[in-house]
Structure 1
């Protein structure tokens, strides 16, 4: 935790929720994964969009198929972490009616999708995005209920505004984490007093409503005194490899408010990483698994698992980028040539932010 946040917590005081959060950390398991900094005692993985609907739902919804197979040979790497966070780019339900006038509808049966998330060590999901209400309020409620029943923390969607803006909390080894989740599309999916929905905001820190909602949510999360405060945001357009100046400024504003890490997703391609003040910005983590058409000029099937190591005091000390490829409704470790392309691409996309990496085998490493 940064000195600024320590000052905030000391003046705000700890709530009963903070006491409960501090007491729920799980013992850190032994790991033999090589290459990670020994300065870190906790490792949390951040992944982009997990879209488990359509073809994935058809394939893994079969009793003959193991849901864990969606992670292929990346699964041991996911399991070696203390927790994984991703954006859930679909609702989990078998019910509901289609929201009018949408080009794409994403829904997965929780009977297999929840075990798949569990097999991937997913302990926190961002729900504020443009697909949680694809099948209406009933499917959104089913999604939150399925995740809650499985003990998977979730933020950014719910029954009421109070529930939607409430931070999710989860334990990761020796650390505790809190996450808030926001999206800037669709406005029609935003929660209302009379209907469930998502945490919709305009991605403009000058917008009065945005300033109030985001600031209050982060301040509420800060009172829990987490080791890591994550702002998981589904902002900006698809298919762009660099965030525009306004979106990059919004991400920096989240750090200024008190977030330790910005977990961006929406573009469907990985964007650069930026160290800003005492925080870390993953401008866009791309996708982690889906059935999308591959755009040859963007190679949206090539991605990273972003691993963030925390020291004993909760301070991030390393960000490790593990190359991966989405193929045939699974995600797997990248082959040598694919990993080389990803390393070169990420170096280019991070250069505008002054970020440089060391190479460790197939991985990129950013010391913090």
Structure 2
């Protein structure tokens, strides 16, 4: 790939189910089995109660809003999203779960409109409607021409990386893993006899070494390796010690970028050995608008991460973070005050990394190659 630069778009959880599914052109059954909400349309009403009516049915582009303009202008080589929603008409609610996400397969244009190169599926909602729901999800995504990573009909498919060709002849390999700490039930793991997710029972040195071996077997000269991990709790800025060590062990073993998600708001940004570690990208598309209880974390604010990586070395060449805000279940530009809040918060929680304002209103690492 020579001495060029590969640009990746990364974001956190894309949750096109439940309330979002209900405002699209082909809503599935609104029935839920939650303690307090039994109809997904209630989440639409909550959003409308704080920010005004949603003009349902909305166009497939509606939930992405301003993010589509950001993507068009940035022109990333590779787009990676964590699709935290099953794509199914199945009605077999997974037992023992408080929340279930599904979108109707006919609403897939609301995903394809963003033109993702890889949909990460190693998360705690892809089997919300059991293994039949997972298999319908895999079939629907494949039928739409979308690459997936992190779930499959057996371990070979679940653990296999998605390979995306990039200009210059190399590839970006996206490996996806789901950790128990994110709430994935152990029996969701893919086995030779069962479909499931690429599962991490623990974030230990042993499991990190196994991931590194897997990456090295697949990675060829000229490839960049991304490990996308669903890990950790929903709220709070503290990064557990085992997560820090796990991410650094991956980098030590040859991983070029760690893409972490699960938290509902952004968590610290780390640069380790000139490689980027995103400990939590926060939600990107969801139906949480109007839900109270964690206002201090400003989960209405979202970030589009645009990462530049040196094609020949894998080193971080730059990071641009575009702040967005959700209103009426649609992403819009974040106001100046919210951009300042995000910058100061990320700067405070990301030890060793300085977050600076960019002239275009986005956020950037002040000196990406100089951090930790």
TM-score (norm 2): 0.82
- The secondary structure found in structure 1 opposite 2:344 is helix
Q: 1:327 and 1:254, CA in 2 relative to 1: closer, same or farther beyond 3 A?
A: farther
Q: 1:217 and 1:109, CA in 2 relative to 1: closer, same or farther beyond 3 A?
A: farther
2:259 matches 1:266: no
Which residue of 1 is the match for residue 318 of structure 2?
A: 318
Counterpart Cα distance in 2 of 1:128 and 1:226: 26
Structure 1 segment 294-333 matched on structure 2, within 5 A: 294=292, 295-311=294-310, 313=312, 315=314, 316-333=316-333
Give the CA RMSD over aligned residues.
2.2
Q: 1:226 and 1:52, CA in 2 relative to 1: closer, same or farther beyond 3 A?
A: farther
Counterpart Cα distance in 1 of 2:227 and 2:135: 22
Counterpart Cα distance in 1 of 2:200 and 2:349: 26
Structure 1 segment 178-257 matched on structure 2, within 5 A: 178-185=173-180, 186=184, 187-206=186-205, 208=206, 210-211=207-208, 213-223=210-220, 225=221, 227-257=223-253
Q: CA deviation at 1:344?
A: 1.1
Which residue of 2 is the match for residue 107 of structure 1?
A: 102
Q: CA deviation at 1:326?
A: 2.5
Q: 1:296 and 1:120, CA in 2 relative to 1: closer, same or farther beyond 3 A?
A: same
**Aligned mate of 2:131, from 111, 121, 137:** 137
How many equivalent residue pairs? 326
Which residue of 2 is the match for residue 170 of structure 1?
A: 164
Question: Is the Cα contact below 8 Å between 2:93 and 2:129 reproduced in 1?
Answer: yes
Question: Is the Cα contact below 8 Å between 1:265 and 1:284 reproduced in 2?
Answer: yes
Counterpart Cα distance in 2 of 1:166 and 1:99: 25
Give a deviation string over 1:37-74, Cα, whole Å, max 9, x none. xx964321110000110000011134943111111122
Question: Is the Cα contact below 8 Å between 1:167 and 1:220 reproduced in 2?
Answer: no
Structure 1 segment 52-71 matched on structure 2, within 5 A: 52-62=16-26, 64-71=57-64
Structure 1 segment 83-122 matched on structure 2, within 5 A: 83-113=78-108, 115-122=109-116
Give a deviation string over 1:188-231, Cα, whole Å, max 9, x none. 2111222211111123223x4x24642342123314x4532100
Which residue of 2 is the match for residue 19 of structure 1?
A: none
Question: Is the Cα contact below 8 Å between 1:203 and 1:235 reproduced in 2?
Answer: no
Counterpart Cα distance in 1 of 2:172 and 2:91: 32
Q: CA deviation at 1:172?
A: 4.2
* Structure 1 residue ranges without an equivalent (≥5): 3-38
Counterpart Cα distance in 1 of 2:244 and 2:208: 16
Counterpart Cα distance in 2 of 1:220 and 1:111: 37
Question: Is the Cα contact below 8 Å between 2:5 and 2:317 reproduced in 1?
Answer: no
Which residue of 2 is the match for residue 81 of structure 1?
A: 76
Q: 1:277 and 1:146, CA in 2 relative to 1: closer, same or farther beyond 3 A?
A: same
Counterpart Cα distance in 2 of 1:254 and 1:112: 36
Which residue of 2 is the match for residue 158 of structure 1?
A: 152
- The secondary structure found in structure 2 opposite 1:217 is helix
Which residue of 2 is the match for residue 291 of structure 1?
A: 287
- The secondary structure found in structure 2 opposite 1:214 is helix
Q: CA deviation at 1:112?
A: 1.6
